[in-house]
Amino acid sequence: MSARCLELVHSNIFKILQCKPDLQTNQYSNLLAGTLVTAMADTFKVLYFAAASTYTGKAEDSIPGPMPVSKLFAHLEDKYPGFRKKVLTSCALSVNLDYVDLIEDGEMEIQNGDEVGIIPPVSSG
């Protein structure tokens, strides 16, 4: 399990235990771990930064995978009409913290459990 998944597990333990006070910690851990493994088994995560997050109204999404990089933008455009023109035309893309060249790596397969970043240009000033 990635460090990010573990961070999410730890940050949500208290919230879930508040909803289910009768649930023992080890039962909760097994339940949550099973949920995360199931979720990771058939999806990959897309992280939205800056304008991408503003446009979608989200920090992240889970997308059914696997999927070629070349089809991701069409999928996001279907989900968020106008997203390609407003955000994606100027964004960088990373998969598991490695930048992806959309021309050379367009047919690279995003695997279930991968983490994709939609990164708008960074301005300085």
Residue-wise pLDDT tens digits, 9-23: 555 555 555 555 555
Mean pLDDT, residues 58-86:
93
Residues 58 and 93 in one domain: yes
Distance CA(21)–CA(51), nearest Å, equals 39
What are the C-alpha distances in Å from 96 to residues 67, 78, 93, 115? 14, 24, 10, 5
Distance CA(63)–CA(76), nearest Å, equals 9
Q: Report helix, strand and coil shares of the chain as percent, to nearest 5.
A: 45, 20, 30
Q: Which residue segment(s) compose the domain that 37 sits in?
A: 3-41
Residues 91 and 111 in one domain: yes
Tell me how far apart the terminal alpha carbons of the chain are, to the nearest angstrom: 38
CATH number reported for the structural domain that contains residue 48 in this entry: 3.10.20.30
Q: Residue 40 above 80 pLDDT? A: no
Residues 69 and 25 in one domain: no
The number of domains in the chain is 2
Q: Residue 37 above 70 pLDDT? A: no
Residues 31 and 51 in one domain: no
Q: What is the largest CA-CA distance in the chain?
A: 53
Q: Is residue 125 part of a domain?
A: no
Residues 58 and 25 in one domain: no
Residues 109 and 60 in one domain: yes
Residues 22 and 61 in one domain: no
Q: Is residue 83 part of a domain?
A: yes
- Which backbone phi and psi does 24 adopt, to 5 degrees? -70, 150
Residues 69 and 103 in one domain: yes
pTM: 0.65
Among the ranges given (27-36, 48-57, 112-121), the one the predictor scored with the smallest mean pLDDT = 27-36
Q: Is residue 68 part of a domain?
A: yes
